[in-house]
Amino acid sequence: MLLGSHVSMSGKKMLEGSAEEAHKFGESTFMIYTGAPQNTRRKSIEDLNIEKGHEVMDKYGLSNIVVHAPYIINIANTTKPETFNLGVDFLQQEIERTQAIGAKDIVLHPGAHVGAGVDAGINKIIEGLNEVLTNDNNVRIALETMAGKGTEIGRSFEELARIIDGVQNNERLSVCFDTCHTHDAGYNVKEDFDGVLAEFDKIIGVDRIKVVHVNDSKNECG
């Protein structure tokens, strides 16, 4: 098992600084955003200091790092084509950065249907993922289990399964299991985690889980 946390990637050191921070915390892996999660401003791949970052990772035994896609991506949006197109285009760019960094998974919040309904949102997510997953690399998109706030999609295992089943190259899809989100969505991870995993396995398959966000929650279950 590899354990890590979100670490920063900024300044001149970029990936090198991320690896140093993760080592300082005694971690064996880590998660990063390639830039601020609320915007699309990004440094070029050449400025990410990847080579020195991997030197630090090799030195301290850090591996299987994870990238998190920014929150502004919403490929479930059916009401604003510009929002959907921005999400698809920027996700493609983030996958290229993820590949260059050497990460295998990029975690993605599936999106919000913004009032169009779950079915419409899921169909739009499938459309977007089918566009994105035509590129030639081995990066997986890890769909995150969501709490279901507002019009979020991905609050149930069935919703994630529908997305996975609808995507053509779905061998490139994995799952990021977030304990806080799953608890808030109504799954009893606190008292019956084995049962929750058994349900996930029946609907999606636990082999899809490649990333786990271990988070507490202040909210009641569901």
For residue 193, name the pLDDT band (cuts at 50, 70, 90).
very high
Choice among 26-30, 130-134, 159-163 with the minimum mean pLDDT: 130-134
CB 32 within 8 A of CB 20: no
Residues 7-29 have a mean pLDDT of 97
Predicted TM-score (pTM) of the model is 0.96
Burial of 214 (0-12, 13-18, 19+ CB in 10 A): exposed
pLDDT, tens only, 94-135: 999 999 999 999 999 999 999 999 999 999 999 999 999 987
Question: Which domains does the chain carry?
Answer: 1-64 (no CATH), 67-213 (3.20.20.150)
Q: What is the pLDDT of residue 165?
A: 98
Confidence of residue 136 (pLDDT cuts 50, 70, 90): confident
* Band of residue 137 on the pLDDT scale cut at 50, 70, 90: confident
The strand ranges marked E within the chain are 31-32, 66-68, 105-108, 140-144, 173-178, 209-213
pLDDT digits 0-9 by tens, 163-190: 999 999 999 999 999 999 999 999 999 9
Helical ranges in 28-177 per DSSP H: 50-60, 81-101, 118-132, 157-166
With the CA atoms of 17, 19, 23 and 24 taken in that order, what torsion angle do they form, in degrees rounded to the nearest 10?
20
Q: What is the pLDDT of residue 134?
A: 85
Averaged pLDDT for residues 16-39? 97
* Biggest CA pair distance of the chain: 50
* pLDDT above 90: residue 7: yes
